[in-house]
Amino acid sequence: MPELPEIVVISRQMERTLKGKTVAEVSIFQHKMLNRPVSDFKKILPQKTVVSVTPFGKWIVVQCSEEYRLLINLGMGGEMIYFTDKESLPQNTRAIVEFSDGSGFFVTLWWFGYFHLVGKNESHPMTETLGPDPLSLSETDFFRLLENRKGQIKPFLLNQKNIRGIGNYYIQEILYRARLHPLRPIPTLTKEEKLRLHQAIQSVLQEAIALGASDYEKNFFGQTGGFGLSHMRIAYRENAFCPCCGTKVEKIPTGSTSQFICPQCQPFNP
């Protein structure tokens, strides 16, 4: 699933490539991903010009004139790829946006995903309930975000209503760099640990963005990024050894997800 670094990279590429282009035609092949009838997309989007493209957690927001926004969430395994030759589109294409110059982009989905059209004065509950952007949080804001919170730190960070854009891929390295066990209760975190966690979130996400995001997700031009396992110290290396202390890496269940940890560097009891 594309997470914040992938969405930031794709949004920047779309902004540079699509800004100023005028929509000519829209084709929809998967109605379940829509928030309104297909006829609305076909009637409203043509002749609209792309004003901007911005990331919003795991969503991409395409501003089409002042009146409408196209909100896209690629779900699990989805891709959004730019094209100049419509004849080469894959069979699992779910939506196509074509521009007046003959270029366009297509969207493929594997498991869920959303393609929503929202008017200027319309609400969009799926994005309006999202938490703050982790890259915009100062230390003070981050401390305030954790204040009086209960529950465990990993589920808290993965909950998009608390903080948007972090998923199970990047949280592996984030918690390792912060030296925190994923199931640590939030009230037990010290000020120093919260500070390490804030720094780890910033460093991992920024590093991934600088490298073009992950090496297993495709960007807007169908290329993969440069952030992979070589940039993660223990993630997805069960039975390997921690490069810091030499302890064997473990894989533990964390609710509906799992986490690779070093039991020495990330003890449950501080």
The secondary structure of residue 235, as a DSSP letter, is T
CATH number reported for the structural domain that contains residue 19 in this entry: 3.20.190.10
Let me know whether 148 and 83 are in one domain: no
Let me know whether 118 and 147 are in one domain: no
The tally of domains found in the chain comes to 2
Q: What is the pLDDT of residue 241?
A: 97
State what percent of residues in the chain have pLDDT above 90. Answer: 93
From 101, 128, 155, the end of a domain falls on 128
Structural domain boundaries enclosing 40: 4-128
Per-residue pLDDT tens for 62-106?
A: 999 989 999 999 998 899 999 998 877 888 899 999 999 999 999
pTM comes to 0.96
Confidence class of residue 112 from pLDDT cuts 50, 70 and 90? confident
Confidence class of residue 270 from pLDDT cuts 50, 70 and 90? low
Q: What is the pLDDT of residue 69?
A: 97
**Is 266 inside any structural domain?**
no
Let me know whether 139 and 233 are in one domain: yes
CATH number reported for the structural domain that contains residue 162 in this entry: 1.10.8.50
The residue-averaged pLDDT of 25-37 equals 96
Let me know whether 248 and 143 are in one domain: yes
**Is 268 inside any structural domain?**
no
Instruction: Provide the sign of the torsion angle of the four alpha carbons 188, 5, 167, 207, taken in this order.
Output: negative
Let me know whether 149 and 246 are in one domain: yes
d(CA 128, CA 76): 21
Let me know whether 65 and 36 are in one domain: yes
